[in-house]
Amino acid sequence: MEKRWASCRPLTPGSCPPLSLRSWDGWTPRPLQALRVLRGHVLHHARAHVPRGAEDGPGRPFAPFDAGFSVRMPDTWTPIFDLSDPERVAETVADAEPLIDDVIGKVVARESGDWCGPRTPRIAAPAMHLHHLSMRRTSHFTVDETCIGCGLCAKRCPAQAIEMRNGMPTWAKESCFACLRCLHSCPKFAIQYGRNTRAHGQYRHP
């Protein structure tokens, strides 16, 4: 049987999260052509990650994806998106369930096609990329007096950008993955990013 591979990763408009790209390191084939199914709006990330014209082996170019899918889930980028209404979040999750079942069915049946949702126009990708780089600056984060010093944020940070100093989290790197895992994991919701996150709430996986 022909060898195939699959990847399920979060994507944001105009960018592929750095954590997703890092997780592909060492994969064969790596995802230069796989990301092409997204019609260019994250291709600039792939080109920075994998040299143009690179091959899996002599005369064997990187294989493209046979299929692409997208499923809308609650958007945890709370500097913009509002997750403060539990019923609305639960409704989004419930709406995704039949879509996930459909994806599973197509994968099991080895169907080929492009079932991805709306895409950021390719012309907007460079600007979105620059915006994403700006959003990764850890100077956007703050922590308030409700922090109990549990260290959960530091333990869960995939970029290892947080250190506990004098019982308080400190961002020791200038940039991180901007995944907001620290914010959503904090048991006291003491960590904020910018001005809107407190009003927009935390995401708790059901």
pTM above threshold 0.75: no
Would you give per-residue pLDDT tens digits along the chain (206 residues)? Answer: 455 555 666 655 545 555 555 555 554 444 443 443 333 333 333 333 333 444 444 444 444 567 778 888 898 999 999 999 999 999 999 999 999 999 899 888 988 888 877 766 767 767 777 777 888 999 999 999 999 999 999 999 999 999 999 999 999 999 998 989 999 999 999 999 999 999 999 998 75
Tell me how many degrees the CA angle 130-132-133 measures, rounded to the nearest 5. Answer: 65
Q: DSSP assignment of 69-111, as one string?
A: E--------TTTS----HHHHHHHHHHHHHHHHHHHHHHHTT-
The shares of helix, strand and coil residues in the chain, as percent rounded to the nearest 5, are 35, 15, 50
